[in-house]
């Protein structure tokens, strides 16, 4: 990158509420500040003390985290308001605080990067003559689906899950109706409205950063560059694959006795003989699904390490249960008739132990499973190479910074 600037490029990164949204932003900020000599300020609509509680002091060593004052939204929501809608409302109500925070800086950022829930902050970036970029912490296929949703919204009548044919995204793999993300399950739900508006905002960004890399999603990334229909919905906005961005463990993180015992046990096992089972920091299953998973793992007779979290009364993620009596009905959170319509299309209320056993054996014992595991190992190597100096994602990050620099020069010369 051009290093002739008189001072470091200053980038502000806006994180929406929730640690699951703040963490990817911290990782991005850490990479920009340590690998690309950029000054970074993370603007968090989340209480900063919770960052220290997660043991992320090392990630904060190279940049500042500025908390946007929390806003009471209790008068704008009720008990039925979905989480994603709450987040968008919190972001909208926090915009005055964002303006105050930015105006109070001695050194104003020249660029504002917003996550998926913060596109309403784009006008704030315009007010301060900042270049604005979008950061998608998932992948390119998800980005393509959301970007193309305004077109699907006009093309398809009724609920997407009622559609009998795959949803076509130009130049990309099609999406089966039952594969749409949660925000698209019910077009009458306010969270779909927010999701659709955010998709419309994609084209307002000067560029889109995506946590993926060329070898992982070559077809989708090529579509962003070459497919005219997809480029049109994005208003020719450039997409920069800059991943994989993950939090790497540090020596200073330490290790507790339980983890040490697990590591010692792992060292005694044959190479590649242990299955790791985890559904992420927010992944919880119903008690019934936990039971089936436990039996399925035991029946497979494979070595495994399972990150177990307390069961959710109402399962989330991919699992929903239907109860009777005075207990709440989990299908209340789904479009009316959804379970009936999708019962033969892949939507499964609970995955039973036999199917879990068979899948574990397939991955750990079969030749097809070996091919999958080899592919994962190959992607691991490719991913590490992508973010290394000279790798595709490293170069893409440089391209983003050069583009931002040129846009700044152009805006200042007008």
**Cα torsion for 116, 117, 120, 126, to the nearest 10°?**
-40
Chain-centroid distance of CA 185 in Å reads 18
Task: Considering only residues 350 and 255, tell me which one the structure prediction assigns the higher pLDDT.
Answer: 350
pLDDT on residue 269 = 94
With bands split at pLDDT 50, 70 and 90, how would you rate the model's confidence at 48?
low
Q: Cβ contacts of residue 410 below 8 Å, gap of 6+? A: none
Looking at the DSSP bridge assignments, the partners of residue 210 are: 136, 241
Please say if the pLDDT value at position 258 is more than 60.
Answer: yes
With bands split at pLDDT 50, 70 and 90, how would you rate the model's confidence at 21?
confident
Task: Considering only residues 199 and 412, tell me which one the structure prediction assigns the higher pLDDT.
Answer: 199
Q: Give all domains of the chain, ordered by start, each with its CATH number.
A: 10-248+390-413 (3.40.50.2000), 255-365 (no CATH)
Distance between CA 321 and CA 307 in Å, rounded? 22
| Among 50-64, 161-175, 379-393, 399-413, the least confident range | 50-64
Q: What are the catalytic residues?
A: 21, 115
| Among 43-57, 105-119, 183-197, 270-284, the least confident range | 43-57
Read off the pTM: 0.83
Q: What is the mean pLDDT of residues 219-224?
A: 97
Distance between CA 12 and CA 107 in Å, rounded? 11
Please say if the pLDDT value at position 318 is more than 70.
Answer: no
Q: Would you say 66 and 44 are in contact if contact means Cβ atoms under 8 Å apart?
A: yes
């Amino acid at each position: 990158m051009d290093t002739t600037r008189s001072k470091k490029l200053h980038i502000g990164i806006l994180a929406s509420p929730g640690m699951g949204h703040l963490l990817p932003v911290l990782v991005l900020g850490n990479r920009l500040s340590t690998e690309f000599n950029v000054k970074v300020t993370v603007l968090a609509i989340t209480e900063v003390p919770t960052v220290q509680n997660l043991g992320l002091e090392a990630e904060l060593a190279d940049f500042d985290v500025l908390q946007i004052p929390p806003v009471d939204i209790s008068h704008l929501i009720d008990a039925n308001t979905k989480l994603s809608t709450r987040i968008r409302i919190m972001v909208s109500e926090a915009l005055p605080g964002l303006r105050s925070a930015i105006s109070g800086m001695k050194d104003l950022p020249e660029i504002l990067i917003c996550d998926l829930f913060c596109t309403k902050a784009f006008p704030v970036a315009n007010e301060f003559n900042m270049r604005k970029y979008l950061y998608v912490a998932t992948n390119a296929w998800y980005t393509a689906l959301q970007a193309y949703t305004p077109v699907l919204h006009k093309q398809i009548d009724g609920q997407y899950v009622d559609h009998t044919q795959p949803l076509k995204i130009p130049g990309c793999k099609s999406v089966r109706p039952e594969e749409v993300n949660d925000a698209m399950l019910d077009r009458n739900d306010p969270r779909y409205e927010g999701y659709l508006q955010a998709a419309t905002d994609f084209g307002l960004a000067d560029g889109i950063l995506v946590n993926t890399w060329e070898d992982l999603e070559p077809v989708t990334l090529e579509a962003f560059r070459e497919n005219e229909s997809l480029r049109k919905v994005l208003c020719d906005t450039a997409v920069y694959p800059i991943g994989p961005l993950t939090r790497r463990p540090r020596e200073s993180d330490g290790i507790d006795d339980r983890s040490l015992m697990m590591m010692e046990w792992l060292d005694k096992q044959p190479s590649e003989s242990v299955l790791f089972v985890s559904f992420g920091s927010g992944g919880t299953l119903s008690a019934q699904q936990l039971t089936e998973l436990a039996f399925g793992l035991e029946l497979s007779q494979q070595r495994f390490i399972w990150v177990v979290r307390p069961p959710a009364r109402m399962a989330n993620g991919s699992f929903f249960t239907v109860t009777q009596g005075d207990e709440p009905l989990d299908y209340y959170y789904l479009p009316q008739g959804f379970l009936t319509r999708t019962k033969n299309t892949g939507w499964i209320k609970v995955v039973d132990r036999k199917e879990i056993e068979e899948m574990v054996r397939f991955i750990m014992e079969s030749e097809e499973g070996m091919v999958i595991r080899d592919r994962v190992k190959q992607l691991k190597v490719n991913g590490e190479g992508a973010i290394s100096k000279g790798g595709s994602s490293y170069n893409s990050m440089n391209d983003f910074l050069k583009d931002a620099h040129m846009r700044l020069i152009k805006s200042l010369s007008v």
